[in-house]
Chains A and B, each alone.
Chain A
Amino acid sequence: MKKNIKESDSENMQPPCWAVRFLAWYCRPSLLEDLEGDLHEYFERNLKAKGARYARLIYIIDVLKFLRPYTLKKPDFLNLQIQYVMVGSYFRTSSRSLVRNKLFSFINIVGLAVSMFVGLLVIAFLADLYSYDDFQEKKDRTFRVITHQERNGQSRMDLASTSVKVGQKLGESIPGIEDYTIIRSGFSGNARIGQDIFPLEALWADQSFFKVFTFPLVAGNPATALKDPYSLVLSEKTAKKLFGDADPMGRTVRFDTLDYQVTGIAKDVPDLSHLRFDALISFASADATLGKKEDYFYNWDNVWSNYVYLTLPVGADPADVQRALSRLSKQENKALKGQQVTVSLQPLKEVALGKGLSNNIGPAASPLMVWVLAGLALVILLSACFNYTNLSVARSLRRAREVGIRKIMGAHRSHVLGQFMAESVMIALLALLISFGLYLLLRREFLAMDPAISKLVTLSLSVRTILSFVLLALLTGLAAGFLPALFFSEISAVSVMKDTSGIKIFKRIGLRKTLIVVQYTLSLIFITTTLIGYGQYKGFLNFDLGFTTENVLNIKLHGTDAAVLKKELAELPEVKDIAQSMMITSVGSAYGALAKYQPGDSAMVWQNKVDEHYLSVHEHQLLAGRNFILRPEKGKEYEVIVNQQVLKRFNIAGQDTQKALGQEITVDGQKLSIVGVIKDFHYGTLQNKIEPVIFRYSDSEPWGYLNVKISSQNPDVTFAKIEKTWKNFDKIHPLNARFYNTQIQEAYSHFSVMVKIIGFVAVMAICIASLGLLGMVVFTTETRLNEISIRKVLGASQSELIYLLCRGFLLLLGIAAVIALPVTYLLFDKIFLREFAYHQPIGFGELLGGALLVMLLALLMIVSQTMKAARSNPAEVLKSN
C-alpha cells in the first residue's frame, strides 16, 4: 500500500509500533501503563530535541533495557495446563487437515525432510569434528607446542611441528608440567621378518607417550615399552599383518641393518583421533640413528618433523607455561641469525579444528569450512521453512472456520498460537523420520564422495547427535510454524463466522512474494556457482601449462637407481620415451634454490633436476640454445636451462635469449652456465604466478620419478605390462604410477569437492524452491478458478488466461534472476577466482545455462498448472459454486 507523505510523517512522530507491542507483551500489567507513559514522555522530548530518528532509536533501546526480572510477566500456569489438556484435540485436527490436503502436506513434509537431511549431515559432520580426541582422558589439560617461524623478509609461518630441543627443555627448565612427550614423524622402511617384507610407516615416540595419551596397550608395559632404543610398538592391525596369529611380543623386526624388538601391542587408534599410527618406534632409536649423525637434529630451528605434547596438572594455568616458553624462545633466538623461532601452546581441543598450521599431523578442518557448511544448511532449512509459512498462510481460508469455532468456544489467542505451533512441530518430527531414513541410506554415498571426507569424519550416530537431530526438528518446526500461527491467532472469531471472505489472505502477499524471490535467488546462485565452478575446474585441468602432460605416466621410485627399469621399460613397444626427474611440476610441490647472477643480488628460484629426455617428453619449447649434452657425475654439473623469468629477474643480457646463452649463474654455490632458455611454463599450480625456474641435470634420482611417454591404443594393457616389469624390478613396493593428467586432477581435488558439495546443495535448494512454487501456483489457480471461468465465459482465450495467471510468477522469477546472476558473477570475479593467478574467463553460457534450466523447470510447473485451470469447463465450475 502506498502512503502519502503526510501520513508516513505522522507515523514517524510515533514510537515504533512493534516496540510498543513488545513492551506490552513482556511487561507486568501492574507496571505497564505508567511505564508506557514514561517512555512516551521521553520520546516526545527527544523528538523535539534530536529529531524523529533518534527518538525512535532511543525508544527501542529503552524498551529493550526495561526487559528485567522485575518487569517481566509471571508465566500463566492455568494457560499452560489448558494447552496440555488440548494437545489431543490439536493432534486430531492437525492430522485431519494433513490428510485432507494431500498435495500440500506432501510439499511441506518432503521439503522439510530434504532440508533436514542436509541439516542432519552437517550436524553429524560438526559433531564428529567437535568430538575429535574425546577418548583422550586428559584432553582438557593436554597441549601441543606449536612453532612460529619468521625469516627476514618472509611472511610468518605457523607450524604444528616443533624442535626436539623444546621437548628436552620442557623436562629440564620449565616447571609446572605433569608429563610431556616428543613425537617424530616420517619413519618409513621395509619391515623384514624372516623372509617376509612389509613396507611400514611409523612414528617415533618417547617413553612418556602413553602417559600423555590414552592409547591402551593390549600387551606390554606402557611405562617401559618405548624406553630402550630399537623398541617397537605395533597396533593390533599391524601386528596381525606382520605376524598373523602368532604372538608378536619379543619378536624382532629388521629395518635395513637394524633389529627392532616388539615391546608392546596397542589397541588400534580410534577413528576420531588426530594422531594416527600403525606402529611406534622408541624415540631413543631416533637419538641413536639420526641424532648421532648430525647435531642439527637437536637444533632450536630444526622444527620440521617433531611434535611435542604435554599435560598440565589439574588446575594449572597454561599461561604460566606459556610465559616460560616465551622466555625460552627469547633466550634461544639470540643464537639464531636471520630468523626468529618462537613456540606457544595449543590446547588439544583446538587441534582438529584449529587455525591453519603447516606440517599438520593428521587431519584437520578449518573453522571457515565449519561456517560455510553451517551456513549452507541454514539457508536450505530456512528455504523449507519459507515454503511451510507460505503455504500455510495461503491455505488459511480452509482452517479459518476451525479457528473461529475454537475462539467462540473460549480459546485464547495463545491457545490458537500453541495449536498451530504444535502442528508445525508435529509435521517437522514426521519429516525428521523421513530425513533420518535418507540419512541412513545416503550416509555412505556422502562419505564416498571424496576420500578427504571419509578420512576426516565417520558420521556415526551417538546419543548426542540423535538428540541434536530431534532438537533440530523441534527448532525447524517452531521456526516454520511461527508466522502462520501468529496469523491464525489474530483471526477474529466473529468476522470468520459471518463471512470467510473477510479474512485478508492476500494481506501478506508481499511477504509471500518476497519469500519466493529469495528462494529462487538462492537456488540460482547455487546452480550457477556449481556450473561456473565446474567449468573453471575443467579449465584448470585443460589449462595450457606451457608443456604437454598428455600420455605421460609418472612412476614414483623408492630409493633405487632406475637404470635397469628404464632399460626394460624402453623395450616395451608402447613406450616412446623415458625421462627422469626429481619432482612433478604443476601439481603443487616446489623445490627452491638460491641463485645469484650479479654479486649481492641473490634470489630464490624454483628448480627441478631432470635428465636429457625431460624436455622432449614434456615438449617444453626451447627458445634458444640446446638440451643438456654433458653427462657429468653427481655433484659436478656445469649446465643449466632456465626459463624467461630467470632472465627477467636477474636482467641477464637484457633479456635477449640468444645473448643469455653462456652466461653463468651461481646456484646453491655452484657456477652453472646457461645452455638453453625455455618458454615460461607453470611450475606451480594456477594459484601461483609464473616465477623463475631452472632445470638442472641429474641422470639418477632414486627418490624421484620416471616420466614415461606412452603411445597406446589400450592403456590398461600397457599399464599391466609396466606393472609386471616393475614387479621384477622392485619386489617390495607396489607400483605407484599415475598419469600426469590424473595427478593434475588430484592437485585441484579440493576444488572439485567444493563443486560437488555446492552442487548437492544446489539440487536440494532447487527441489525445495520448486515444491514451494508448485504449492503457490496450485493455490493461486484454485482460488482464482471462478474468475477464470467468468473470463472464459466472456470470451477470453486460453493463451490469454495462461498469460494472466503466469505473469505474476514470471515477474518474480525474473527479479530473482536479475539479482542472482550479477551476484554470482561478482562472487567469482571478486572473491573465488582472486586466489588463482591464472584462470579461464567466466563463461556466459555457464552463467545463463543454469538459470535457464531452473527457469524452465519453474515455467513447466506454472504453465502445466495454469493450463489445467484455463482448460476447465467454466459451466462446471460456476455451477458447483
Chain B
Amino acid sequence: MKGTNLGEFEELVLLTIAALVQDAYSVAICDELEKHTGRVSKLGVVHAVLNRLEEKGLVTSRMGEATSARGGKRKRYYEVTQAGKVGLLRAKEVRDGLWNIIPGFNIETA
C-alpha cells in the first residue's frame, strides 16, 4: 500500500518530528536533521516532505504563536499521528527483522 510505506527521507523526517516533541517546525526540523545526519537539508525538500506526510495522514499540524523573529509570521508545528507512529514502528520492525537474520555482521569483513 502506498499510503503507509515510508521512504527513507520521510522516515528520517518523521523520526525528527517525534524527537523534537513540542518544537517540531520546519526550520528546527532542518537543523535537527543536519545535526544528526551530517548532511545539508534544504528547506525546499523538507517542506515538500512535510506536506506529503500531512497528506498521507502521518503527521498533523497546528499554527503556533507569532514571534518577531519571523517577520511577525506564525510557525507551523508538526506532530506525529497514530498512523505515523504505526508506520515508524513497522519500519523499525522490518529493519530489526533483517538485522536479526544476519549472522555475525562485522564491518571489517564487509
Interface residues in chain A, defined as those with a beta carbon under 8 Å from any beta carbon in chain B: 15, 31, 33-42, 44, 62, 65-66, 68, 70
- Residues on A with C-beta less than 8 A from B85 are none
Minimum-distance CB pairs A-B, first 8: A37-B73, A34-B76, A37-B70, A40-B71, A36-B73, A40-B70, A38-B26, A65-B44
Whether A34 and B73, one on each chain, are in contact in the complex, defined by CB atoms closer than 8 angstroms, is yes
Q: A41-B27, A42-B27 are in contact. Are A35 and B47 (CB under 8 A)?
A: yes
What string of 1s and 0s marks CB contacts (under 8 Å) between B25-66 and chain A?
Answer: 111000000000000000110011001000000000001000
Cβ contact within 8 Å between A33 and B73: yes
By a CB distance below 8 angstroms, the chain A residues around B25 are 34
B73/A42 in contact, CB under 8 A: no
Interface pair B48/A70, CB less than 8 Å apart:
yes
Whether B44 contacts A41 by the Cβ 8 Å rule is: no
Question: Is B43 in contact with A42, judged by CB distance below 8 angstroms?
Answer: yes
The answer to whether A41 touches B47 (Cβ under 8 A) is no
B44 contacts A66, C-beta separation under 8 Å: yes
B window 64-92: CB within 8 A of A: 69-71, 73-76
Contact of A44 among B43, B69, B75 (CB under 8 A): B69
The answer to whether A34 touches B48, judged by C-beta atoms less than 8 angstroms apart, is no
Judging by beta carbons under 8 Å apart, are A37 and B48 in contact?
Answer: no
Find the B residue at minimum CB distance from A61.
B44
Which chain A positions have C-beta within 8 A of B47? Answer: 35, 38, 66
Q: How far is the CA of A44 from the CA of B71 in the complex (A)?
A: 9
Number of chain B residues whose Cβ lies closer than 8 Å to a Cβ of chain A: 16
Residues of A within 8 A of B75 (CB): 34, 37
CB neighbors of A among B1-24 (8 A): none
Which residues of chain B are within 8 angstroms of A33 by Cβ–Cβ distance?
63, 73-74, 76
A708 to B61, CA, bound (A): 97
A31 contact set on B, CB distance < 8 A = 51
CB-based contact A68/B48 at 8 Å:
yes
Contact partners of B70 in chain A: CB under 8 A: 36-38, 40-41
Instruction: Determine whether the beta carbon of B44 is less than 8 Å from that of A37.
Output: no
A31 and chain B: residue at smallest CB distance = B51
Q: Do A70 and B51 touch across chains, with their CB atoms under 8 A apart?
A: yes
Please give the distance in Å from A746's CB to the nearest CB on chain B.
Answer: 62
Provide the main secondary structure of the chain B interface. Answer: helix
Chain A proximity of B81: nearest CB distance (Å): 18
A65 CA to B44 CA, complexed, in Å: 7
Residues in B neighbouring A39, C-beta threshold 8 A: 43
- A/B interface sample: 17 pairs, CB < 8 A: A33-B63, A33-B74, A33-B76, A34-B63, A34-B73, A34-B76, A36-B71, A36-B73, A37-B70, A37-B74, A38-B70, A39-B43, A41-B70, A44-B69, A62-B44, A65-B44, A66-B44
Other A-B pairs, 18, CB within 8 Å; known A34-B74, A40-B73, A42-B43: A31-B51, A33-B73, A33-B74, A33-B76, A34-B63, A34-B73, A36-B73, A37-B70, A37-B71, A37-B73, A38-B26, A38-B27, A38-B70, A41-B69, A42-B27, A44-B69, A62-B44, A68-B48
Chain A residues within an 8 Å CB radius of B48: 68, 70
Chain A: minimal CB distance from B56 (Å): 13
Q: Write the nearest CB–CB distance from B32 to chain A, whole angstroms.
A: 14
Bound Cα distance from A40 to B69, whole angstroms: 8
Distance, CA A33 to CA B63, complexed state (A): 9
Note all chain A residues with C-beta closer than 8 A to B71. 15, 36-37, 40
Query: Closest B-chain residue to A45, C-beta based?
Result: B27
For A35, the chain B residues whose CB sits under 8 A away are 47
Q: How far does the Cβ of B73 sit from chain A's closest Cβ, in whole Å? A: 3
In the complex, residue of chain B having the shortest beta-carbon distance to the beta carbon of A37: B73
A42-B71 Cα distance, complex, nearest whole Å: 11
In whole angstroms, how far apart are the Cα atoms of A307 and B77 in the complex?
A: 72
Residue of A nearest to B77 (CB): A34
> Nearest Cβ in chain A — how far from B35, in angstroms?
15
A13 to chain B, nearest CB (A): 11
Most buried by A among B25, B44, B71, B75: B71
CA A729 to CA B51, docked complex, whole Å: 92
Question: B73's closest neighbor in chain A, by CB?
Answer: A37
CA–CA, A41 to B76, complex, Å? 13
How far is it, in angstroms, between the C-alpha of A68 and the C-alpha of B26 when the chains are bound?
Answer: 17
- In whole angstroms, how far apart are the Cα atoms of A344 and B96 in the complex? 61
When chains A and B are docked, how far (Å) is the Cα of A31 from the Cα of B51? 9
Give CA–CA (A36, B27) in the complex, Å.
12
Residues of A with C-beta under 8 A to B63: 33-34
Nearest CB on B from A10, distance (A): 14
Task: For residue B46, give the distance in angstroms from its CB to the closest CB of chain A.
Answer: 9
Q: Tell me which of A15, A36, A37, A65 has the highest count of chain B C-beta atoms within 10 A of its own C-beta.
A: A37
Q: Which A residues touch B43, using CB under 8 A?
A: 38-39, 42, 62
Chain A residues, Cβ within 8 Å of B27: 38, 41-42
- Chain A contacts of B76 at CB under 8 A? 33-34
CA separation between A44 and B70, bound complex, in Å?
A: 8
Chain B residues with Cβ under 8 A from A40's Cβ?
Answer: 70-71, 73
How far, in whole Å, are A68 and B70 apart by their CA atoms in the complex? Answer: 23
A37–B75 alpha-carbon span in the complex (Å) = 7
Residues of B within 8 A of A38 (CB): 26-27, 43, 47, 70
Please name all residues of chain B whose beta carbon is closer than 8 Å to the beta carbon of A62 when the two chains form the complex.
Answer: 43-44
